[in-house]
Amino acid sequence: MNASRFKGLALFILAISQLMMALDYTIIFVAMPSLGEELGFTANHLQWVVSAYSLAFGGFLLIGGRLSDLMGRRLMFIIAMVLFGLGSFLGGLSESQLLLIIARGLQGLGGALLSPATLSLIMSNFEEGAERNRAMGIWSSMGGVGLSLGLLLGGVLTSYIGWEATFFVNVPIALFAIVMTPIVLKESKISSQAKHFDVGGTLSVTAGLLLIVYYLIQSPVEGWFSLGTLPFVLVGVVLLIAFVAIEQRSAAPLLSFRLFRNRNLTGAALTAFLFSASFGTLYYFLTLYTQNVLHYSAIQSGLSFLPLTLSAFLGVRLINILLTKVGVAGTIAVGMGTGGVGFLMLTQLSATGSVWGVIPGTVIIGIGQALVFTTMFIAGSTGIDPKEQGVASALITTGQQIGGAIGLAVIMAIISSRMNSNVTLETMTTPELNHSIHIAFIVTTIVTLLGILVAFIVLKQKKTVNKDKAIAKH
């Protein structure tokens, strides 16, 4: 069968994979109190239900990108879906803490392989220009849908079925994707003559990233200079330095540093970092506001995110227009600026307010989120050799993962510095918590301003857009 005849279905498969990953990120937050109580997790151990996923996802992204280039993006997509589906199935069956944490790690590994493969398949299955931009827009909008839908669906499933359903919901999606992928997606990979695997580079960068991500996860709990965390980041940095040395001597490096000469890729990775440090922390603090300040139920809190989701669809429809008029850098700058306005509006949230105070800011943020998220991946794919698409995609997603962890850590450190040492988010009064959330949104506003600077200083100006216009006219 000719896979090119099934582009609509191909896009649907790629979009639901993004939906599944985004859904899984937020759905677990709502289920955690119930599963923690049933499986007997302590407060410190419960965080590993989230951290095991983040650790595996962040640590294995680069190797996931390289494997998709070498083994084939479609094959890696199927393998990743199998791992993600298996992790979800085991998570739903878990009757012990250890099995649940292993299942979450398996989901994270599946995500690390799935993300670069998915992005590379968009690049290889859709023509550069308007067609690819539209595909990227639909794919990215599913991320916003999944994040907000996860909060709502998590509340419904946990309340009416049980926390296990938040895992099982992924299984039919994964099975459908596994069956349909060979039919509707074209394979793309490096020619057999170019297949070499950089073992030393792979081991050093994977171990280094795992240790640094672990440090970012544990430090807010144990302390940034604690003997329980500091050695991990020091060893991680040493391993990444060793990785650089290995790559410079390798005949077939895992990561060719000449990729960073591509200003669009470098700018896209930096944008992804700043995007996650700002937009990516919104769901945490807004959930904190709706549930702990306004005392909404999980279902009510999830519903409060729907205006943001709907506005993200509007943002997607604006992307091609903006790309044509102001280019990649201009579109990202507009998205960051729009998001900054929305975050600034959220600094006015009242401790005695309602969801109506949330909606104007989140609607504006939703538009900005769609513009930045989609366009940074369009930028990162421009001028990249097809044999390096997987690694390039993984670089952007790694920036996104690290940015989210560091962004949240920095915001929490700033909030903590303004509070008494014996006060935590859990023990704050409602006015104190509301004030802390205001601080978080002030910080995210500042980060979006940095994003505007990166867009105009690092990214190339309009050259790629002229090409897109020419393609779109044919």
The continuous run of DSSP H or E covering 200 comes out as: helix 199-222
Topology classification of domain 260-474: Growth Hormone; Chain: A; (1.20.1250)
In sequence order, which residues have a C-beta less than 8 Å from that of residue 11 and are 6 or more positions away?
126, 135, 138, 139
Helix ranges (H only) for 251-305 are 263-278, 282-288, 298-303
Q: Residue 223: what residue type?
A: G
Residue 261: pLDDT band (50, 70, 90) is confident
DSSP assigned state of 421: T
* Residue among 282, 272, 203, 215 nearest 242 (CA): 203
On average, the pLDDT of the chain sits at 84
pLDDT over 70 at 249, yes or no:
yes
pLDDT over 60 at 471, yes or no:
no
pLDDT over 90 at 335, yes or no:
yes
pLDDT number for residue 129 = 75
pLDDT number for residue 226 = 86
pLDDT number for residue 196 = 63
pLDDT digits (tens, 9 = 90+) for 264-280: 889 999 999 999 999 98
The larger pLDDT score, comparing residue 473 to residue 351, is at 351
Residue 359: pLDDT band (50, 70, 90) is very high
In sequence order, which residues have a C-beta less than 8 Å from that of residue 69 and are 6 or more positions away?
120, 189, 190, 387, 388, 389, 390, 391
pLDDT digits (tens, 9 = 90+) for 161-194: 989 999 999 999 999 999 999 988 887 666 654 5
pLDDT, average across residues 219-240: 87
CB 347 within 8 A of CB 365: no
Q: How far apart are CA 181 and CA 86, in angstroms?
A: 17
pLDDT number for residue 474 = 33
pLDDT number for residue 334 = 96
Same fold, 1-193 and 260-474: yes
What is the SS3 assignment for 305? coil
Q: How far apart are CA 235 and CA 232, in angstroms?
A: 5
* Residue among 264, 23, 10, 25 nearest 138 (CA): 10
pLDDT number for residue 85 = 95
What is the SS3 assignment for 100? helix
pLDDT, average across residues 333-347: 96
The larger pLDDT score, comparing residue 145 to residue 8, is at 8
Q: How far apart are CA 286 and CA 303, in angstroms?
A: 12
Residue 462: pLDDT band (50, 70, 90) is low
Residue 388: pLDDT band (50, 70, 90) is confident
Sign of the dihedral defined by the CA atoms of residues 111, 117, 119, 121, in that order: negative
* Residue among 258, 256, 243 nearest 199 (CA): 243
pLDDT, average across residues 276-300: 87
pLDDT number for residue 384 = 75
pLDDT number for residue 468 = 44
Q: Decide which of 1.20.1250.20, 3.40.50.300, 3.60.20.10, 3.20.20.10 is the CATH code for 1-193.
A: 1.20.1250.20
CB 101 within 8 A of CB 109: no
pLDDT, average across residues 311-322: 87
pLDDT over 70 at 425, yes or no:
no
Residue 463: pLDDT band (50, 70, 90) is very low
pLDDT number for residue 256 = 78
pLDDT, average across residues 204-214: 85
Q: How far apart are CA 383 and CA 366, in angstroms?
A: 29
Which among 34-38, 316-320, 362-366 has the top mean pLDDT? 362-366
Provide the residue ranges of all domains of the chain, joining segments of one domain with +.
1-193, 198-251, 260-474
Q: Any idea of the CA torsion for 132, 137, 142, 147, to the nearest 10 degrees?
A: 130
Residue 472: pLDDT band (50, 70, 90) is very low
pLDDT, average across residues 50-56: 81
Least confident of 147-161, 173-187, 193-207, 322-336: 193-207
Which among 133-147, 197-211, 443-457 has the top mean pLDDT? 443-457
Strands (E), 8-161: none
Q: How far apart are CA 244 and CA 204, in angstroms?
A: 9
Q: How far apart are CA 185 and CA 183, in angstroms?
A: 6
Residue in this structure with the two tokens 């994707």, named with its chain if needed: 177
For 266, the token pair is 């470098």
CA 118 to chain centre: 13
Instruction: Count the helix, strand and coil residues of the chain and give each as a percent rounded to the nearest 5.
Output: 85, 0, 15
pLDDT over 80 at 381, yes or no:
no
